[in-house]
Amino acid sequence: MDTHPQAWSSGGWVWVKNPQYANDSKARVDSKDDVARMSTEWNSLKKSNIKITHRHLIDLATKHNVLHGKWLLNIKADCVKTDWPKVRNAIVDGKLGLVAKISDAPDKRGHVVCIYCPNFLDKDEVLRIRRAIRNDVGLERNSILRFKLDAVTDANIYAYNSALRTTSYDCGGKDDEECSTLISHWEQCTMSEGLKYAEATAAQGEKVTLLREPDNKYDPNAVRVVNGSGQQIGHVAKDKAAILSPKIKEMQEELHSQNMKLVVEGTIISVSDGYQQSVQVEFKEISNETCDAEVAEAEVVILE
């Protein structure tokens, strides 16, 4: 039990809020009526023949103004007495978001902590809070944190009961220790590069595969793009490859431990002057045992 005057217990959680919450320009609520309307449309969508993706949830949340979300982290049971007060005090001091909570009881990973952002579309604020977790609170300095929309929780979607992706943003990790980039799993990203060294070209609408080239002597983050015949059609632009390549590597390592593999595929969505092409990217998680493929629910992997 947290006895701080800004903390209270409710529903198996200890909550804390910034005392200036009501006066903050970013303060807002997801109204019960908006949540109910979103839930009604979500339930209708599930009964349709449409193949549902994470993007459908994003669209419904945006349409119905259900915009709250939270960064998720875990505090080990033996660290909760020291680490939770860091989060609580940062909330009270206005360094994080407006509200946070910690589970009363730990699970196998520890106590679950949610640090809220009132509007997931405000990417600057979402990223600012992630950086503050690292810099002001001093937690999860080298870990990837994931951001989950309240709309996903409202739809009762969890990793244990749904095949849909449950989180919408990633940030941090050993390849982005400064938390400089917000990785989105639902927006469109274009990546282009000159093709003067290409073996072949690809037409608009053609499927391609993206491959890391860690041994590339010019750029260890290089990402090669090949067509269906395995012929190179170009490379991802260097600045975007610097973000994409480490992300692919980290996902590959994570899936390898689960006896799965990652395939990164794309679709050529535009061609400019024959030398630049834009690629819409999909991540596919494939089981080594069944060969079943599951498309990550993100059409987009990178933000500026």
The span from the CA of 261 to the CA of 289, in Å, is 10
Question: Which whole number is the average pLDDT over 155-175?
Answer: 87
Answer whether residue 295 shows pLDDT above 50.
Answer: no
Tens of pLDDT, residues 236-275:
877 788 888 888 888 888 877 777 788 888 777 665 544 4
Across the chain, what does the average pLDDT equal? 82
Answer whether residue 186 shows pLDDT above 90.
Answer: no
The span from the CA of 184 to the CA of 54, in Å, is 11
> Is the CB of residue 300 less than 8 Å from the CB of residue 185?
yes
The span from the CA of 84 to the CA of 76, in Å, is 10
Answer whether residue 279 shows pLDDT above 50.
Answer: yes
Question: Which whole number is the average pLDDT over 272-283?
Answer: 59
- Low-confidence winner among 99-113, 213-227, 290-304 (lowest mean pLDDT): 290-304
The span from the CA of 81 to the CA of 2, in Å, is 10
Please tell me the predicted confidence (pLDDT) of residue 10.
Answer: 95
Output helix, strand, coil percentages for the chain, rounded to the nearest 5: 30, 30, 45
| CB within 8 Å of 107: residues ≥ 6 apart | none
Please tell me the predicted confidence (pLDDT) of residue 149.
Answer: 97
264-296 as b/e: b if 16+ CB within 10 A: bbbbbeebeeeeebbbbbbbebeeeeeeeeebb
Answer whether residue 192 shows pLDDT above 60.
Answer: no
Question: Which whole number is the average pLDDT over 23-38?
Answer: 92
User: What is the torsional sign of CA 105, 111, 115, 120?
Assistant: negative
